[in-house]
Amino acid sequence: MTENKITYAIEAADLNLYYGETLAVRDIDMQIEKQKITAMIGPSGCGKSTVLRAFNRMNDLIPSAHATGSVLYHGKDIYDEDVDPVEVRRRIGMVFQKPNPFPKSIFDNVAWGAQINGYQGNMDELVEESLRDAALWDEVKDKLDKSGLSLSGGQQQRLCIARTIAVKPDIILMDEPASALDPIATLKIEDLMHELAKEFTIIVVTHNMQQAARVSDFTAFFNLGEDHAGVLEEYDVTSNIFTNPKKKTTEDYITGRFG
């Protein structure tokens, strides 16, 4: 973008993603800036979640899925033979569409990820810090031993964010993190994303264009190509995408003419 040497948080180059023989996403070239919020928008089925999941190899869990091209993280292609996806996911965490806390206590929900990753420090402190950062501490500090499932949907989602940041990742991937929540819980999550962006790089898939406009610094618009594979149509600073899109399809989509 400038002559200054910018190192990105993560970078997809010539990335193609397949489910079995079907090409789901084609030729993605995309650089994600550090400590910014990048939103991925687009019509259903255009592969934005698939791209998101490619960033921490969550697609590996689907037996038929495979990728060509590369995803560079700290100069290393995470799809290289010698890369352990477990190590990748430890550094690139994920928050899912539906809140999915473990059927464990609130404390254990936050502590578990850190524990399996060999965290040696004071666990009480880490749990409190993570819950504070997730703006949940005041609501749960008196019931840390209660099941994570006893919380409301919005609280559960913030608990899931707390457990993700307890692992101290570089990047947090969020797959429509507020789509199962009511408007007030959604706003809390959005506020939280702003806070988290001071420390983490955030990539968020959303169906809600207002949300993308509200929270993100950069927006990537995905669309279905003629061969029904998803393509990255336009990628720019969020204000440009929403006020001055370069492509007609982007404009049509954000003005609600399709999708």
Partner 1 sequence: MQNSIDLRKKRRWGETLIQASLFIAGAFSILTTVGIVYELGKEAMNFFAQVSLWEYFTGADWNPQIDQFGIWALLNATLMTTFIAMLVALPIGLSISLYLSEYASHRARRTLKPILEVLAGIPTVVYGYFALTFMTPLLRGIFGRDVVDIYNTASAGIVIGILIIPMVSSMSEDALSAVPRALRAAAYGLGATKLETAVKVVLPAAISGIMAAFIVAISRAIGETMIVAVAAGAGSNFTFNPFEAAETMTGHIVRISGGDLSYDSIDYNSIFAIGLTLFFMTLSLNVISQRIVRKYREVYE
Q: Does 94 bind partner 1 (CB under 8 A)?
A: yes
Q: Does 164 bind partner 1 (CB under 8 A)?
A: yes
- Nearest approach, Cβ of residue 32 and partner 1 (Å): 18
Cα dihedral across residues 172, 242, 24, 16: positive or negative: negative
How far apart CA 103 and CA 156 sit, in angstroms, is 11
List the one residue from 47, 69, 93, 245 that touches partner 1 (CB under 8 A). Answer: 93
List the one residue from 26, 48, 90, 214 that touches partner 1 (CB under 8 A). Answer: 90
Segment near partner 1 (CB under 8 A); pick from 30-38, 109-117, 179-187, 218-226: 109-117
- Beta carbon nearer to partner 1, 108 or 233: 108
Query: String of b and e for 90-126 (b: at least 16 CB within 10 Å)?
Result: bbbbbbbbebebeeebbbbbbbbbbeeeeeeeebeeb
- Beta carbon nearer to partner 1, 16 or 97: 97
DSSP letters, 85-131, are HHHHHHHEEEE-SS----SSBHHHHHHHHHHHTT--S-HHHHHHHHH
Q: Footprint of partner 1 on this chain (CB under 8 A)? A: 56, 58, 61, 63, 86-87, 89-91, 93-96, 98, 100-104, 112-113, 116-117, 147, 149, 160, 163-164, 167
